[in-house]
Amino acid sequence: MNYASALGYPGKEFLKFWPPDVELMGKEINWFHSVIWPAMLFSARLELPRKNFVHGWWTVDGKKMSKSLRNVVDPISIADKYGADALRYYLFREVPFGDDGDFSEDSLVNRVNAELADSLGNLLNRVLVLVEKNFGGHVPNTSKEGEIPKLASDTVEAVDASIEKLQFRDALDAVFSFIRELNKYVSQNKPWEISNKDRLGKILYSLLEALRIVSILIYSFTPETARKILDQLGSEPKFSIHDLEWGLLRQGGCAGGRN
């Protein structure tokens, strides 16, 4: 009854939180949560949780982690070595949530380097360098031209739909598909060759605003990274769904983390 009593059952406070939208559990306790616990709730005339979601196990070299096999991965040690964001990102990105996954430190390093560092990190650095060089580190004129605002809106919808289904890898797939499009946009438009400040400003604003939206979408997975991106963009650390609207990055603000 901990699940109920911790929320104040049988007091009125309990009803503010019950029933839960989702109960998350390991597959080894699925029988209890799907049979015994609902029977207890029925007998107490309480509503059942709206959804049960059973997640998988992390294995090492195809074997379940076990103290006797001495193959247990210490998450604190991994987080200390690579950062909590890197570990969180890898765990959500590597396998579909709900399936078993095989942990590999090499795979963690490769994925974080290829996606967080190269795809996202390099894009942010390239854009900030161009803003510093051409606009003195200030956010140029706002823009809603071109395909980037529509791509951003589509990405927000895709991420929202995936998270609603607890398909976290799909959510991150959508974000990094958007990031790949942003990198392609940079390569196609070659902003370093553009002398027209008005056109250049619109391109760079689109990239800055897209990165702001990306930071909000990855906040649940990599909160420290998301905060650092917003700091670099000179934007307030706001991460609500209302902050996903296009055009909230103010013109004239300092991009590059300068105050």
pLDDT at residue 239 tops 90: yes
Residues in the chain: 259
Share of the chain above pLDDT 90, in %: 75
Average pLDDT, the chain: 91
Distance of CA 194 to CAs 36, 85, 189, Å?
67, 36, 8
Mean pLDDT of 3-25: 91
Q: What is the pLDDT of residue 111?
A: 94
Listed residue (57, 113, 58) closest to 82, CA to CA: 113
pLDDT at residue 216 tops 60: yes
Q: What is the pLDDT of residue 258?
A: 47
R_g (Cα) of the chain, nearest Å? 22
The gap between the terminal CA atoms of the chain, to the nearest Å, is 51
Q: What is the pLDDT of residue 121?
A: 95
3-state SS string for the chain = CHHHHCCCCCCHHHHHCCCCCCEEEEHHHHHHHHHHHHHHHHHCCCCCCCCEEEECCEEECCEECCCCCCCCCCHHHHHHHHCHHHHHHHHHHHCCECECEEECHHHHHHHHHHHHHHHHHHHHHHHHHHHHHHHCCECCCCCCCCCHHHHHHHHHHHHHHHHHCCCHHHHHHHHHHHHHHHHHHHHHHCHHHCCCHHHHHHHHHHHHHHHHHHHHHCCCCCHHHHHHHHHHHCCCCCCCHHHHCCCCCCCCCECCCCC
Strand 58-60, strand 63-64: pairing: antiparallel
pLDDT at residue 257 tops 70: no
Listed residue (177, 185, 176, 186) closest to 126, CA to CA: 186
Neighbours of 64 (CB within 10 A): 11
pTM: 0.88
- Give the domain ranges of the chain: 1-55, 118-244
CATH superfamily for 118-244 is Isoleucyl-tRNA Synthetase; Domain 1 (1.10.730.10)
pLDDT in tens, 176-212: 999 999 999 999 999 999 999 999 999 999 999 999 9
Mean pLDDT of 160-185: 96
Phi/psi of residue 218, nearest 5 degrees: -95, 0
pLDDT in tens, 77-89: 999 999 999 999 9
